[in-house]
Every structure is written in C-alpha cells, then in structure tokens.
Amino acid sequence: MLLAIDVGNTNITFGAFDGSSLKSTFRLMTGSARTSDEYGGMTLGLLKYNGIEVDDISGVIVASVVPNVMHALVGSIERYLNKKPMIVGPGLKTGIHIVTENPKEIGPDRIVDAVGAYEKYGGPVLVMDFGTATTYDLISEKGEFLAGITAPGIKISAKALWEDTAKLPEVEIKKPDSILAQNTITSMQAGLVYGQIGQTEYIIKKVKEEAGLENMKVVATGGLGSIIADETKLIDVYDRMLTLDGLRLIYEKNSGRA
C-alpha cells in the first residue's frame, strides 16, 4: 500500500492507495509546529483508525510547499513507518517537461497537479487548484508545462476582509442565494464567491484566447473548487483527489511500476 502525502500551506493531506484505488484519506493542520514524535504518533493513530497497519505500507511519497515541516515529517516517516519517503523534486521522472523561463520556480504541488491532470485527462489541459492560493497551470498536448497563473485563494481574500477591516465579521465561505445581498454576511459571501467565479471564467477565457487552445480540457481541484465548479460551465471536471492521484502516478513512474 502506498501512502501519498501532500503538504500544503493549510493542511497536510494523506492518501492510502491499494494499487490505483484510494482506500482512505485523512488530514492534519500544517500551521502548528510539531516534533517528529508528534507527527509519528498522530499518523499511526490515524492509520489505525482507518484500518491500516504499518506493515501494510510499502512506500511513501511526499510533495511539500512548506519546507520548515519537512525535517520533522520525514523523520517521523523514517522512524515510525520504517520507510524512506520519495520526495517530489528535481531528479524524479514526472512525464511533464517544464518550458517556463525558470523551471525551478514551479512548486512541487503544481507539478503533481499537472501530472495528475495530464495522465488522467490528456492535454492540452488547464488545471486549477483552489487552495490557499488559486493556481492555473497550462499543460500542452505533449505534456509541456507552458504557463502558470497565481492568484489569492478564496480563504486569503476572506481573511483579508475580516482582519483588515474594523467592522466586518468572519463568515462561512459559501454561495448566497442571490448576488443581490441584503446584509453584511451575504454581501461578503457574494463578493468572495461570485468574485472568484468571475475571476475563474475570465482567466480560462483569456488563456484559451492567448494560447489558441479553444478546445483544451479544464480540470479543477482543491477543497473549495467544488463551489466554483458547480457555478460555471467553463470547468469540465472537478476532481477532488487529483493531487493524491498525481503523487501516486509519480511514485509509480519512479519505482518501476509504470
């Protein structure tokens, strides 16, 4: 069984695969500083809760955009799972050729999403990840990483509203019944959600126009992506587990199983 670990700015997401089948997922918050023993104890507990024994784990792969957690996390994997994890970075085979000005600037999370989208849906494909940041990455028919766009995520925008203004409250991020808001909470929800929908549709249209790829596939992932995907016809597929699938595919490419 493969344990795929996606270390994001907000959450650390774990996915346990039996072959290509995702058997269970669980999450830890990224923000808290933890020791390797804390990571190890929590991981073992969550694995056990999901019916997975340490001996069931045959391999581990990690992609991280948060460098300061990696020493403790990797240490916990080596000590408690008895595995040396595969770390997504330079030197691994991905099947994606980065042709941007500075390939080293492309984060491992974006490479993983690109692999997942290209392998599962083909190219050309625009893959969007609605996470802490909202990212839009264009992959060609040949598997070339052509361009990437980065924007503030919905949660970042929401946090700016209630932290940087004196009277605006913290609100749940959801689409209100109407954009014609009648109170403070729904007015904030309308601005956040409809604003993100508008941004998403404009960027998709502009990428298609400038790249000359009117028939490209558009794939979305990320926790809040379903809210946006449900509200626009320009997103073809919402795949919540795209990043974990991308990790699995990279592991298979580099372990002689693909």
Q: What tens digit of pLDDT does each residue of 198-228 get?
A: 999 999 999 999 999 999 999 999 988 899 9
Percent of the chain with pLDDT over 70: 99
Is 252 within a domain? no
Which residue type sits at 235? Answer: I
pLDDT at 68: 92
Q: For residue 257, name the pLDDT band (cuts at 50, 70, 90).
A: low
Q: Both 108 and 226 in a single domain?
A: yes
Is residue 256 predicted with pLDDT exceeding 80?
Answer: no
Confidence of residue 163 (pLDDT cuts 50, 70, 90): confident
Tens digit of each residue's pLDDT (9 = 90 or more) over 46-59: 999 999 999 999 99
Positions marked catalytic: 109
| Chosen domain end from 48, 63, 87 | 87
Query: Is 176 within 8 Å of 158 (Cβ atoms)?
Result: no
Give the lowest-confidence range in 30-34, 54-58, 110-114, 116-120: 30-34
Instruction: Indicate if the alpha-carbon torsion angle 61, 105, 30, 241 is positive or negative.
Output: negative
Which residue stretches of 122-183 are H helix?
A: 154-164
CB 236 within 8 A of CB 251: no
CA distances (Å), 221 to each of 169, 240, 244, in order? 28, 5, 11
Phi first, then psi: what are they for 22, rounded to 5°? -80, 110
Same domain, 107 and 168: yes
3-state helix, strand, coil in the chain (%, to 5): 40, 25, 35
Q: What CATH number does residue 25 fall under?
A: 3.30.420.40
Q: Is the same domain home to 208 and 236? A: yes
The pLDDT of 73-102, averaged and rounded, is: 93
The CB density around residue 216, as the number of other CB atoms within 10 Å, is: 21
Q: Measured at the alpha carbon of residue 250, what is the angle toward residues 54 and 141, in degrees to the nearest 5? A: 155
Domain co-membership, 211 together with 107 = yes
Residue 223 to residue 130: CA distance in whole angstroms: 7
pLDDT of 165 reads: 85
Please return the burial class of 125, using the count of CB atoms within 10 Å of its CB with bins 0-12, 13-18 and 19+. buried
What distance in Å separates the CA atoms of residue 48 and residue 211, rounded to the nearest whole number?
48
What pLDDT, in 10s, does the model give residues 64-84?
A: 999 999 999 999 999 999 999
Please tell me whether residues 151 and 183 are part of one structural domain: yes
User: Is there a domain that residue 258 lies in?
Assistant: no
Q: What's the total number of domains in the chain?
A: 2
- Structural domain boundaries, residue 76: 2-87
Tokens encoding 25: 């997922």
